[in-house]
Amino acid sequence: MISSNDAPEIEWIKEKAKADDYNISEHIIRYFLTKKVTIREIEDAIANGRIIEIHSHPEKGASALLLGYSGEKPIHVMCADDQHGWLLVLFAYVPARPMWKDPLNRVTKGGKRMGEKLNKCFFCGGKIKQVKVGNFDYRLEGKLYVVKDIPAGLCMQCGEKYITAQASKKINRLIEEDRFGGTEEVFVLKYE
C-alpha cells in the first residue's frame, strides 16, 4: 500500500543513517531497556532495508516503514523526515504475530486489516489492547513522578499509549490535588 507523498525515500534514509544524521524516539530507548532491539541491529536493517509501507498522518506528515535484516533477524524500522534534514527513527521492532504473519505481510481478517479504526495505533497501525499501565513516569523540576495503574489502550507493536478523556481528567485532578503518596527506589544509568 504505497502512495506517493512526503515520506522519505529509501536512499535518503540509508544516507542519513550511515552518516549518523538521525534522531531516535523515546520508544526506542524503551526497546533498548527491554533488550528487544539494539541500535546496531537498527542500523543493519536500514543498510539493507526496503520500504514496505507508507503511513500518512494528517498532522505529522508521512513516514516509511522499512523492512531490513540484522543477520537472520527481521526488523521493521519506521522512518520519517524531521523536516530539518535529519532522519527520525520513530520505532523499531521485530515483526511477529499477532500483527505480522511474516516480515512482509500483516495478519488480515476477512480481507480487512486487523484493528482498523478505533483499535489501530495512530503511529504504527498496530493493534490496541486495553490494559492497566503499571507506571507512567514524568519529570517536573528535576523530580520524578510515577502514576500507577492507569487504564489505557496500549499499542502491542510500538508501545504507544492512549488514555481516555475520562481517565486523563481523573489523573489531572489527582495531580492538581497533589495526591502523591509513597516513594520507590529508582535505578539510574548515567550516560556520561
The CB-of-20 to Zn ion minimum distance in angstroms stands at: 26
Nearest CB to Zn ion, comparing residues 64 and 121: 121
Q: Toward Zn ion, which CB reaches closer, 14 or 53?
A: 53
The grid coordinates listed for 138 are: 514524568
137 residue type, one letter: D
Nearer to Zn ion, 8 or 126 (CB): 126
- Per CB under 5 A, the list member of 64, 99, 123, 150 interacting with Zn ion is 123
Examine residue 95 and tell whether it contacts Zn ion (CB under 5 A). no
Interface map 38-77 toward Zn ion (x if CB under 5 A): ----------------------------------------
* Binds Zn ion by CB under 5 A, chosen from 79, 121, 150, 152: 121
CB of 37 to Zn ion, least distance (A): 15
Burial zone of 184 (CB within 10 Å; 0-12 exposed, 13-18 middle, 19+ buried): exposed
Q: What's the distance, CA 177 to chain centroid?
A: 32
Instruction: Please give the sequence-ordered ranges of beta strands (E in DSSP) within the chain, or none if there are none.
Output: 22-24, 50-57, 61-70, 73-81, 87-93, 100-102, 105-106, 108-109, 112-113, 128-140, 143-155, 161-162
Output the smallest distance, CB 117 to Zn ion, in A. 14
Asked if residue 13 binds Zn ion (CB under 5 A), the reply is no
130 and 153 in contact (C-beta within 8 Å)?
yes
State whether residue 68 is helix, strand or coil: strand
160 touches Zn ion by CB under 5 A: yes
Binding site for Zn ion (CB under 5 A): 121, 123-124, 126, 155, 157-158, 160
